Structure 1
Amino acid sequence: MSENNSQSMEIIMQLIMHGGDAKSSAMEAIQAAKKGDFSLAEDKLEHSQEAINEGHRVQTELLSKEAEGNEMDLNLLMVHAQDQLMSAMTYRDLAMEIIEIYNRID
Structure 2
Amino acid sequence: MRMSMLNKTRACTVQRHENLFAGLTVRNIGEATILAARFSIAAKKVVVVVVVVVVVVVVVVVVVIVVEVVVVVVVVVVVVVVVVVVVVEVVIVVIAVAVAVAAAVVVVAYIIY
Q: Greater RCO between the two (CA within 8 Å, min separation 6)? A: 1
TM-score, normalised with respect to structure 1: 0.34
Structure having the higher Rg: 2
- Judging by fraction of residues, say which structure has more helix: 2
